[in-house]
A and B are shown apart, each in its own frame.
Chain A
Amino acid sequence: MPKAEIRNRIRRLRFDHGEMTQQALAEQVGCTRQTIVLLEQERYVPSLALALRIARVFGESVEGVFELED
C-alpha cells in the first residue's frame, strides 16, 4: 500500500460535520468502512465517482476535499 500522491481532508471534514463516524460516511457514499480508513490514511486513491460522492456529502467541491501533491 504505497502512500498516494493525493492528499485529502476527509478526517478533518468528518469532525467538522458533527463528528461524523467513518461508518456513517461509508454508508452515505456507498463504500465499506475499511475504504474510508484507507482513504483517511492516504493509502487508497478513490475513483472519480467515489471522490464526487464524498465531496457532495461534505458540501464541498472535489478540490475542497482532495489535493494533488506537487
Chain B
Amino acid sequence: MKVVLWGIAALTAGLAATALGVRALRVKSPPLDEPLPATPMQRLSRIGLLAGAVLSAGLVALVLYFGPEGTMEDDTVRIGFTLLLLAILGLFGLLSLRLSIWMRRGDVVDERDRAILSGSHALRSVAMLVTLAVWLIGLMESYQAEGAVPVYWLYFVFWSVLVVSMLAFPLGILFGYRRS
C-alpha cells in the first residue's frame, strides 16, 4: 500500500476512534419532551469543526495533488501547506482562548459543559494515539526492506496527528452533548 494511503488511513482511523469511543459509551434513551437549545460551547464547537474540516480538507487535497515529495520540494507548495497548517493552529488557538475566557468567567460554561469538555480531551488522546499507531505501522510496512524512512514523512506524521487532535476536540464535544 502506498504510504500516502497509510496517511489517509491514519487520519480516518483517528477520527473513527473518536466516533466509536463515544458510540460505545452512548446510552439509548427515549426522545426528549422538548428540543434542546444549543449551548455557547456547542455553537463554538460547530464553528470550529466546520472551519477545521475545510482547512484540513485543503491540506489533504494539496498533498494528494502534488504528492508528498512535491509538497516538500516545491517552495511555493510548501509555504501554502505551512500557511494552511498555521491557519488550523490559529483557528483552534482562538477557540481555545475563547473557551478558557468562558471557563474563567464562570457564567457561560457550566458543570455539565466542563464534564463534556473533559470527556473530549480523553477522546482526543485516544484519537491521536490511533493515528500515530496507523502511521507507524504504514511506514514500517512500506520501508522495512530499505531500512530507512524518507525524512519528510516525519513532518506529515506530525501534522496529521495535529489535525486529528484539532478535529477530535470539537467532535468529541459535539458527540458529548448528544450522549450526556
Q: How many A-B residue pairs have CB under 8 A?
A: 53
Q: How many residues of B contact A (CB 8 A)?
A: 22
> Looking at B34, B40, B110, B180, which has the most chain A CB atoms within 10 Å of its CB?
B110
A32 touches B39 (CB 8 A): yes
Min CB distance, A51 to chain B, in Å?
11
Rounded to whole angstroms, the CA-CA distance of A43 and B28 in the bound complex is 12
B29 touches A32 (CB 8 A): no
- Name the interface residues of A24-57: CB closer than 8 Å to any CB of B: 27, 30-35, 37-38, 41, 43-44, 46-47, 49-50
Min CB distance, B3 to chain A, in Å?
43
Min CB distance, A13 to chain B, in Å?
18
Rounded to whole angstroms, the CA-CA distance of A50 and B114 in the bound complex is 13
Chain B contacts for A41, CB-based, 8 A: 32-34
Chain A contacts for B110, CB-based, 8 A: 30-32, 35, 50
Chain A contacts for B113, CB-based, 8 A: 32
B29 touches A37 (CB 8 A): no
Instruction: Assess whether B146 is interfacial by the CB under 8 Å rule.
Output: no
B36 touches A37 (CB 8 A): yes
Label chain B's interface by main secondary structure.
loop
Chain A contacts for B32, CB-based, 8 A: 37-38, 41, 43
Rounded to whole angstroms, the CA-CA distance of A31 and B112 in the bound complex is 8
Q: How many residues of A contact B (CB 8 A)?
A: 19
Residue in chain A with minimal CB distance to B27: A2
**0 or 1 for each of A1-13: is its CB under 8 Å from B? (1 = yes):** 1110000000000
Rounded to whole angstroms, the CA-CA distance of A47 and B177 in the bound complex is 17
**0 or 1 for each of B54-97: is its CB under 8 Å from A? (1 = yes):** 00000000000000000000000000000000000000000000
B: residues with CB less than 8 A from A are 27, 29, 32-34, 36-40, 42, 106-113, 177, 179-180
A: residues with CB less than 8 A from B are 1-3, 27, 30-35, 37-38, 41, 43-44, 46-47, 49-50
**Nearest 6 CB-CB pairings of A with B:** A31-B110, A1-B29, A32-B39, A34-B39, A33-B37, A35-B112
